[in-house]
Amino acid sequence: MGSAEFLPFTRPSIDETTIADVVAVLRSGWLTSGPRVQALEAALSTYCGGRPVRVFSSGSSTLEIALRLAGVGPGDEVITTPLTWVATTNVILEVGATPVLVDIDPATRNIDLDRIEAAITSSTKSIIPVDLAGLPVDRDRLYAIAGRHKLRVIEDAAQSFGSRWRGKPIGSFGDFVSFSFHANKNITTGEGGALVLPADVDPALCERMRLQGFQRFSDGGMDVDVLGGKFNLTDIAAAIGLGQLKRLAEFIERRRHLARLYFSTLDPLLDLGLPLADFENSNWHMFQVTLPKEVNRGNFIAAMKGRGIGIGVHYPALHLFTLYRKLGFKEGDFPHAERVGRETITLPLFPGMADTDVARVCLAITEVIKQK
């Protein structure tokens, strides 16, 4: 990649074999859910240790269906983090439940497990932990808390496909596990997601809820026995996913290499808040730093763009959005999440980057901050 070319904060890597398979799907005449979807689900199930996996049109829809399969609805409370993409809490509202937010651990930027039990009430039905930037929440402590209080866990692993916990792939154990395959994720289907199901959930029920509650019988009869949505994945998307899945290990190895370069190249005198350097568990979905308080983030992003470098923001503390202020949340409720939400930036990190791109980003950061 030449130095003059704009460097986005992420870009998917789609190889020619995958492009050819998408073309084959287009020529086949079978574009919606079909044999490629079945093949992707089988491959994902193998990756997840044989657990049932069903693919969806988005990661958000997997969370919604997981909540419905877990029996979460009006009158129930669901505990989660304020530092996540707003879909995590929107789906709680969608099923009529109440989001209960718990502040983050400043070191991991994930939900503070020490604060969860104080937030549990008689109405609490579930916990949705979020693996921010691909760093897994401590699964041992999480499931110990859930077990003590008989709560369902719906892992928002949208960003942690390919991450591990104590050597085991995220998704190969636990309760419900939701993945996203959005275009900015470590592997993509363009848009899409997958839901790993626990043993007490009938995959056929999940399939019906994914597609209007509909079932078809061999005699031509039909029935709808449960409320469902329109959340099925297309074979076009599944073909992309199959090609991506084959390269997962390659992608993560490259991401880890680039993350190590950031740690070794960023100027330690700039007072940047660095992420936790976990090279055992994280898939390094994103490399996020926090800016010094005296640096205006908007000005910084504009200055980096002027140098041909894209910077992301993931995420503002969601309880300060208008919708959630209307629910009674206010500034000061979750000070750690609010600080990180104000100061965080996401640096370019994707497999197609060259080592020299990291050097270019780090040099630009130094120049912009010192010219503040």
- CA-nearest of 365, 207, 357 to 291 is 365
Cβ neighbours for 158, distance < 8 A, ≥ 6 positions apart:
59, 85, 87, 130, 131, 178, 179, 180, 182, 185, 193
Contact 231, 57 (CB under 8 A): yes
* Cα–Cα distance measured from residue 290 to residue 271, given in angstroms and rounded to the nearest whole number: 9
Q: Per the residue annotation, which of 125, 168, 185, 330 is the catalytic one?
A: 185
Query: How many C-beta atoms lie closer than 10 Å to residue 280's C-beta?
Result: 10
Q: State the Cα–Cα distance between residues 266 and 94, nearest whole angstrom.
A: 42
Got the DSSP string for 184-220?
TSSS--BS-EEEEPPTTS-HHHHHHHHBTTEEE-TTS
**Among the residues of the chain, which ranges form H helices?**
16-28, 35-47, 59-69, 87-94, 113-119, 139-149, 203-210, 235-245, 248-265, 297-306, 322-325, 335-343, 355-370
Is 293 one of the catalytic residues?
no
What is the set of active-site residues?
A: 185
